[in-house]
């Protein structure tokens, strides 16, 4: 008798899980479809040369944030991203705990813009590993940051980017990065070209 009760409870639970899965699938089918491309009004128009290839958008991204102290071309910067794009970074707190920050490209402009007005900043790509399937690409881009072009880097790390191509151009969907630390050295495979 006890086995039968347990079996019945199991069957009821299984039915509820299946019904829940069906309900979840139905809810997903009623969600709004994802936007495949932003509207022209949502972002500044990109220079077609900046977004025609993965190489081009990566070069534009590093170029637009690099330079001597002064204002950056933030419209060019914004033109590289989807309107819903996200950026973020891994942070190690003094107590050794890790956290992740997350912000929009406009949040980056707010955070970095005032710093760049007062300080030179040059970031360049050291190497890149790219995986692409259809209209999506994942790029692991090893970078070096400098205060002047000919100085030793003060920071190195990896930018992890998700890119999307709408058939006409590439967009940055997300950038998330982590810096090299004594306890987090860059692996050789991400330093080789």
| Residue, of 14 and 134, whose pLDDT is higher | 134
Q: What pTM does this model have?
A: 0.78
Q: Give the rounded distance of the alpha carbon of 159 from its chain centre.
A: 8
Q: Is the dihedral of CA 41, 115, 62, 108 positive or negative?
A: negative
What span, in angstroms and rounded, lies between the C-alpha atoms of 15 and 9? 10
Region of 174 please: left (phi>0), alpha (psi -120 to 50) or beta: beta
Average confidence score pLDDT of the chain: 84
**Lowest-confidence pick of 5-9, 77-81, 175-179:** 5-9
- The vertex-56 CA angle with 77 and 45, nearest 5°, equals 40
């Amino acid at each position: 008798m006890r086995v039968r009760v347990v079996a019945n409870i199991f069957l009821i639970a299984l039915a509820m899980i299946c019904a829940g899965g069906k309900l979840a699938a139905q809810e997903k089918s009623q969600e709004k479809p994802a936007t495949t491309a932003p509207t022209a009004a949502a972002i500044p128009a990109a220079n077609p040369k900046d977004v025609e290839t993965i190489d081009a958008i990566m070069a534009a991204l590093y170029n637009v944030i690099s330079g001597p102290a002064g204002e950056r071309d933030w419209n060019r910067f914004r033109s590289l991203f989807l309107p819903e794009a996200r950026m973020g970074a891994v942070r190690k707190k003094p107590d050794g705990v890790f956290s992740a920050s997350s912000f929009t490209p406009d949040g980056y402009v707010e955070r970095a813009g005032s710093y760049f007005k007062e300080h030179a900043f040059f970031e360049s790509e050291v190497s890149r590993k790219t995986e692409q399937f259809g209209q999506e690409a994942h790029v692991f881009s090893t970078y070096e940051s400098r205060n002047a072009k000919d100085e030793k880097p003060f920071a190195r790390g990896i930018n992890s980017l998700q890119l999307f191509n709408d058939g006409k151009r590439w967009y940055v969907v997300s950038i998330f990065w982590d810096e090299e630390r004594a306890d987090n050295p860059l692996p050789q495979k991400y330093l080789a070209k």
